[in-house]
């Protein structure tokens, strides 16, 4: 979250620098990559579990605004006036039909992704108090950058088709001031439950507790665009000292997110670039077609062509700069599968011989 009120900065002035216990991260110092993720997991696992029903009371300490209202990231507008605000207990869901009716418990990492297992189901670091209607709208869709909007909530959050590399289906986009908060929430979840996810499911954004590369790419961008705020620091300390006895390392040490996940994003972007680096035309064709490099590729590429039975028809090894013509005049009519690959990735095509 980028912006907080002056009053809140005064209230948290004594804890604006996180109250990290001395030596808490000693075993993680100097590590990078998966070794760092493993070390952090070992530090923050086996936390004290709050009951699911106990979340209601915990929110009075962890998610309270300076004015005593519920701090709901799906309705709050840090730079302006929120469309509505909730009172603890009095506005607790309950039933809802429109925004502002009541607040409930939002699993930012949806329950269906971890099959509602004990532990993550009531982990305060990812279960937030949010407007019931918006919670239902978000459902179990991934977070992402929305370009074709179906719904805009009263605080400006958006639901619709995503525009991110590697994903173009439905997604939920919170306002800019809370994108970093949710990114660091996901980094926590992936680390806290690393190697403890045998009963978890997969989703469009995750494979058990592993965040898929396209989603990591989005979250790292949000992580940098919306740095750690006083709100997050205070919430992190409250969860640690009053409830779970563990911390979110990526609030305390934001640079660790890059250390663990930047390589995943780098590989993903290279693979995505290669997957869309070639075009094939004309398709269909009777006599000849060309495979054209959209950018300047000099990699040693293998082109394999198989029919629908899997039989290899042709194979070519080339380091082409622009295009390669292939004569298909003697092929049988029908569907063929063409793959352009190198040691890092591949582009796949379906080709119809007329």
**185-240: pLDDT as tens digits:** 999 999 999 999 999 999 999 999 999 999 999 999 999 999 999 999 999 999 99
Q: What is the CATH number of the domain that holds 324?
A: 2.60.40.3080
Q: What is the pLDDT of residue 128?
A: 98
Residues 264 and 335 in one domain: no
What's the domain count of the chain? 2
- In this structure, the number of other CB atoms found within 10 A of the CB of residue 148 comes to 11
Q: For 329-342, b where at least 16 C-beta lie within 10 A, e where not — what string?
A: eebeeeebebebbe
- For the chain, which residues score pLDDT lower than 50? 2-16
Boundary residue ending a domain (243, 271, 299): 271
Q: Are residues 298 and 177 in the same domain?
A: no
The pLDDT tens digits of the residues spanning 92-135 come to 998 999 999 999 999 999 999 999 999 999 999 999 999 999 99
H-run or E-run covering 20: none
Q: Tell me, yes or no, whether 126 and 94 share the same domain.
A: yes
Q: How far apart are CA 206 and CA 148, in angstroms?
A: 23
Does any domain span residue 289?
Answer: yes
pLDDT for 17 equals 57
pLDDT, position 296: 59
Q: How crowded is residue 89: how many other Cβ atoms within 10 Å of its Cβ?
A: 11
Token pair for residue 64?
């309270």
* Rounded distance between C-alpha atoms, residue 330 and residue 70, angstroms: 71
Residue 313 included in any domain: yes
Structural domain includes residue 1: no
Instruction: Print the domain residue range for 348.
Output: 276-353
Q: Where are the alpha helices (DSSP H) in 172-254?
A: 179-192, 213-225, 230-239, 249-252
Give CA–CA dist 163/167, Å, rounded.
7
Q: What is the CA radius of gyration of the chain?
A: 25
Question: Which of 246, 288, 299, 297 has its CA nearest to residue 120?
Answer: 246
Mean pLDDT of the chain: 91
Question: Tokens for 354?
Answer: 């007329």
* pTM to 2 decimal places: 0.78
Same domain? For 329 and 205 the reply is: no
């Amino acid at each position: 979250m980028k912006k907080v009120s002056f009053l809140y900065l005064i209230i948290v002035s004594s804890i604006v620098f996180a109250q990290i216990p001395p030596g808490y991260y000693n075993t993680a110092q100097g590590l990078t990559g998966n070794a760092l993720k493993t070390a952090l997991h070992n530090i923050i696992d086996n936390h004290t579990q709050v009951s699911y029903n106990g979340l209601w009371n915990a929110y009075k300490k962890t998610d309270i605004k300076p004015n005593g209202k519920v701090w709901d990231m799906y309705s709050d507008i840090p730079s302006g006036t929120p469309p509505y605000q909730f009172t603890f207990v009095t506005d607790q869901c309950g039933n809802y039909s429109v925004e502002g009716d009541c607040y409930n418990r939002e699993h930012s990492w949806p329950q269906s992704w971890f099959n509602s297992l004990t532990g993550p189901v009531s982990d305060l670091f990812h279960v937030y108090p949010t407007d019931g209607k918006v919670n239902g709208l978000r459902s179990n869709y991934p977070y992402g950058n929305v370009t074709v909007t179906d719904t805009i909530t009263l605080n400006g959050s958006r639901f619709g088709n995503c525009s991110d590399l590697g994903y173009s289906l439905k997604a939920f986009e919170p306002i800019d001031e809370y994108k970093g908060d949710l990114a660091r929430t996901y980094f926590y979840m992936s680390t806290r439950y690393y190697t403890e996810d045998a009963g978890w499911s997969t989703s469009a954004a995750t494979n058990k507790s592993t965040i898929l590369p396209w989603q990591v790419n989005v979250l790292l961008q949000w992580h940098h665009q919306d740095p750690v705020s006083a709100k997050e620091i205070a919430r992190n300390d409250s969860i640690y000292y009053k409830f779970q006895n563990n911390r979110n390392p990526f609030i305390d040490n934001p640079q660790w997110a890059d250390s663990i996940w930047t390589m995943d994003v780098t590989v993903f972007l290279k693979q995505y670039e290669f997957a869309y680096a070639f075009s094939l035309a004309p398709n269909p064709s009777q006599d000849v077609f060309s495979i054209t490099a959209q950018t300047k590729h000099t990699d040693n590429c293998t082109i394999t062509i198989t029919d629908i039975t899997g039989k290899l028809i042709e194979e070519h090894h080339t380091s082409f700069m622009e295009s390669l013509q292939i004569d298909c005049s003697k092929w049988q009519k029908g569907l063929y599968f063409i793959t352009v690959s190198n040691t890092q990735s591949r582009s796949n095509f379906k080709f119809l011989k007329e």
